[in-house]
Structure 1
Amino acid sequence: MCQYEVIHFHCGHAGRRLIKHCHVARNTADHQCFGAWSIKREWVSANQLCQSCNQQQAVIRRAHQAQMRI
């Protein structure tokens, strides 16, 4: 059973990050786990957006900067 942590972002989304591979995944070349996984810890990331929201904000900022140059 692979172990994960869940991160709750400021934007309201949640992400999952691998903490430790299970025995089966550690012993295979591509670290595939076909079993269940467990969440070992959860935490809130204050003032941080998830990757997709962060990218979306960057696109909006670039578009706004491009309009300011015109």
Structure 2
Amino acid sequence: MCDFEEFLFECKHSVVKLKSYCHFARNDPNHQGFGVKVLRRSWKQHGRICDDCTMKA
């Protein structure tokens, strides 16, 4: 199971980033994991907007 983290911004957008590879993805040369994806943690980013909204402002 590959572990992911989610970052929730004030602009209501979210970004999901890889935290750690699963066993199969670590051993695959292209790091392709086709197993279960697990969201381990969600982080609220108080007072911050995402990079896309920052570029538009």
TM-score (norm 2): 0.86
Unmatched 5+ residue regions in structure 2? Answer: none
**Structure 2 CA distance, aligned partners of 1:17 and 1:25?**
15
What residue in structure 2 maps to residue 13 of structure 1?
13
Displacement of 1:51 in angstroms is 2.2
Say which structure, 1 or 2, has more relative contact order (CA 8 Å, 6+ apart): 2
Number of matched residues? Answer: 57
C-alpha distance in structure 2 between counterparts of 1:56 and 1:27, whole Å: 40
Work out whether 1:33 is the aligned partner of 2:49: no
Identity of aligned residues (%): 35
| Structure 1 stretches of 4+ moved >2 Å | none
* Secondary structure in 2 matching 1:6: strand
User: What is the aligned partner in structure 2 of residue 61 from structure 1?
Assistant: none
Aligned to 1:3: 3
Q: Which amino acid aligns with 2:39?
A: I
User: Which of structures 1 and 2 has the bigger CA Rg?
Assistant: 1
Structure 1 segments unaligned to the other structure (5+ residues):
58-70
Structure 2: which amino acid aligns with 1:4?
A: F
Higher strand share: 2
TM-score calculated relative to the size of structure 1: 0.73
